[in-house]
Structure 1
Amino acid sequence: MTHNTPLSPRPLRHLSEVHRRVLSAAQLRSHGVTTAELNERCRDGGPWRLLLPNVVLLHSGGPTSEERLHGALLYASRESTPGVPAQPRAGDPHRSPYPEAMITGLAALALYGFAAAPPLASADRVDVLVPRLRRLRSAGYVRVRRTAELPTAQAVSGVPVAPVRRALADAVARLTDADTVRLLLTEAVREGHCEPAALVRELNQARLLSRSHVVDAVESLVAEGRAAAEDRLYRLVGEHRLPDPVWNVDLRLPGGPYLGGVDAYWPEQAVAMELDTRAPHRDEDERWAEYTRKREHLERLGITVVHVTPRRLRESAEQQAAVVRTALMAAGDRDPAAYVVVLPR
């Protein structure tokens, strides 16, 4: 019997090609294969082989990368254990054939196309993400990762994959090479997979910011993310024909205290713009309180502060330009702002 031979009493025509080559023991039983028949076909030299516990490869050759991925998901899936078999349903594209399981870590990053991730063919491990309360152990080439709240999977090449931020955190948790960590994080930001602050927040939640090589990579990541956001801010001013501000300056009262730095300032209209590229830290509440105090102090002096994030600059530049233009136009209707000294940063 080959892997394409229909199994009685239910044929396999409704399954995709890879699902015909990799099936669980429960699924095989539902197709009429007895335990004795299964053991006979998976014996040494037999036509099938046991890929993982209760997961069978329906040919005797080595598994392909696709078969390894689907085997890992079948093993980790809630319905791959004895009970109701996990099978995709025709006409129901939103139902995952692998409930409560998704690929994460380096294998997920490879599926997303990360150049810094090793190719799937060379991966000796495949990480799968499952709910924390699942009773499931790592086995064979499958490494189980757990989470209190399972994120919404992304379908990549027909495979349910953890969101990039989570996949990166799971990958970084296993990596000790600083260069690899830095390359992965940098690629995630450069290719637009996620914002630096959101990525660092995920690493912080995974308790990875206590590792020195991760902290070093994050510092480079935040610096690069800020540089990219500043470049978008320069383009926003030029492309939307806003008046030229003075860039990257410190504000101070004459003979008085330091008020803080801003990314752009229009002295005649007393309008400041500040990029929020803060990365989460353990003292995040204190840092946010300090930022709020600075903003409130400037506004008490009559200076309008426009707060913008890198994501807004990238996704809604026209809207952000309109916010700045409105603030500049409204300057004539406000009371004159206090005089401040503007110094290069």
Structure 2
Amino acid sequence: MTYDIPLTPRPFQQLNRLDRLGHPGSHADGPVGAAGASPARVLTASMLRAHGVGAAEASEHCRPGGPWRMLLPGVFLLHPGPPTSEDRLHAVLLYTLRRQTIPTQSGHGTAARTTAHGIDAMITGPAALALRGFTSARPLPALDRIDVLVPVTRRLRSAGFARVVRGGDLPEPEQIAGLPVAPVERALADTVADLDDAETVGRLLTEAVRDGHCEAQTLMRELEAARLLTAPHVADAVDRLVAEGRTVAEARLYDLVRTQGVPAPCWNVDLRLPGGPHLGGVDAYWPDEAVALSIDARTHRHIPGDESGTEGLWDAYAQQRESLERLGITVVHLTPRALREAPELQAAVVRTALMAAEDREPAAYVLVLPR
């Protein structure tokens, strides 16, 4: 994988004079990657050396009142004004990425040294959320630091507005505005780790699930892996996250039935044998076909050895399925992620289960009660 550092559209060779490297010009602090931006405003000392600009000359240009300034160790802003959000993002990545080649000014990219799981530095934390448009996160211009995720083996220190976050197993980054950015679950975990306000944490987690950035299940797993679920400010926000994940998944199921030609079921019902035991609740039930559907939204916190957590909930799912199938009732489990990413496929699964009812023995009679 490579990190392509967009540079000026003009070939570097056309910039014959040193003062033209820092040619002033307006550059408003707009969206990263906006048209007309000039990311060549930020270069490293090694990039400058490759084009004949030595350390002494670079230092001379960074004197008070000079046309350049050093943003981070070895990373220069070739402009006298303050850095924009885009400048700062590029500076952080140039400071942290281990480069194997120097990019040309035509912008064909830097070949970055990578780990087994991808590139070895990526934007994370609040900056990654801001790049994704989170309204609950602080905007890029308001951030006094930019978090960058690197392998735990990297000998790299935080400096200036670049804060180094280390991880033992880096995820595959996503490309946003041409920048390597940590997956949203990891960015949220890195953000939450530095917060102590349950209300702020709740807003971030809820927005992530409600707006489809990620599923509650995967987010909970990331928080658990980061050992954050037992933190008081996170524990207080978990119930809201679980409820939001369930609400979003149910809404997708309603849309699936309405738009994919699936017959309308009985929604949110309890099943019970006449005069017998309670068989459990299901999200949808088709009485004529004896088909039950449950959304598998296992988002509960899990503490090892605590069977009331994820493992206990899975046991409950399995027991309910076994009980219903013994009575001739077909059980379909759908996950929130499947409902989001492949609704047509899930509709086909439900329709197949309904059509197969004609070839099965009649199911036992059960009472269908509102839940």
The answer, yes or no, to whether TM exceeds 0.5 is yes
2:26 is matched with none
**Structure 1 segments of 4 or more deviating over 6 A?**
none
1:78 is paired with a residue whose SS is coil
Q: CA deviation at 1:96?
A: 5.7
In structure 1, give the amino acid aligned to 2:336.
Answer: P
Whole-angstrom distance in 1 between the partners of 2:16 and 2:174: 31
Kindly state the Cα deviation for residue 103 of structure 1 after the two structures are TM-superposed.
1.0
Partner of 1:330: 356
- The separation in 2 between residues aligned to 1:90 and 1:298, in whole angstroms, is 65
Look up the match of 1:309.
335
- 1:137 deviation in Å? 1.1
**Letter of the aligned partner of 1:309 in structure 2?**
T
Inter-CA distance 255–65: structure 2 relative to 1 (3 Å threshold): same
Q: Name 2:258's counterpart in structure 1.
A: 238
Q: CA 1:70–1:233 in structure 2 vs 1: closer, same or farther (change >3 Å)?
A: same
1:87 is aligned to 2:107? no
Map 1:268-287 onto structure 2 (within 5 A).
268-282=288-302, 283-287=309-313
Q: How far off is 1:71 after superposition? A: 0.8
- Contact 1:116–1:184 (Cα < 8 Å) also in 2: yes
After TM superposition, the structure 1 stretch with the greater mean CA deviation from structure 2, 165-174 or 180-189, is 180-189
Matched with 2:40 is: 20
Matched, 1:319 2:345: yes
Question: For 1:88 and 1:33, how far apart are their aligned partners in 2?
Answer: 15
How far apart in 2 are the matches of 1:49 and 1:332? 76
**Aligned-residue CA RMSD in angstroms?**
2.8
**TM-score, normalised by the number of residues in structure 2:** 0.81
CA distance in structure 2 between the partners assigned to 1:91 and 1:25 by the alignment: 17
Q: Relative contact order, CA 8 A, sep 6+: which one is greater?
A: 2
| Counterpart AA for 1:313 | L
The yes-or-no answer on 1:186 pairing with 2:206 is yes
What is the aligned partner in structure 1 of residue 238 from structure 2? 218
Give 1:247's aligned residue: 267
The offset of 1:304, in angstroms, is 0.4
Map 1:1-345 → 2, pairs under 5 A: 5-6=15-16, 18-79=38-99, 84=100, 86-87=102-103, 95=111, 100-282=120-302, 283-345=309-371
Q: Percent identity?
A: 60
Contact 2:101 2:110 in 1 (8 A): no
Q: Which runs of 5+ in 1 are unaligned?
A: none
Contact 1:151 1:163 in 2 (8 A): yes
Take 2:123 and 2:265, find their aligned partners in 1: how far apart are those partners?
47
Post-superposition offset of 1:243? 3.5
How many residues align structurally?
A: 334
Q: TM-score under structure 1 normalisation?
A: 0.86
Report the AA paired with residue 318 of structure 1: E
Q: Give the Cα separation in 1 of the matches to 2:211 and 2:113.
A: 30
C-alpha contact (below 8 Å) 2:121/2:148 kept by paired residues: yes
CA 20–329 in structure 1, closer or farther in 2 if over 3 Å, else same: closer
Alpha-carbon distance in structure 2 between the residues aligned to 1:239 and 1:45: 64
Q: Deviations over 1:18-66 (max 9, x none)?
A: 4532222222222223333333333333332221112122233321111
* Contact 1:88–1:96 (CA under 8 A) maintained in structure 2: no
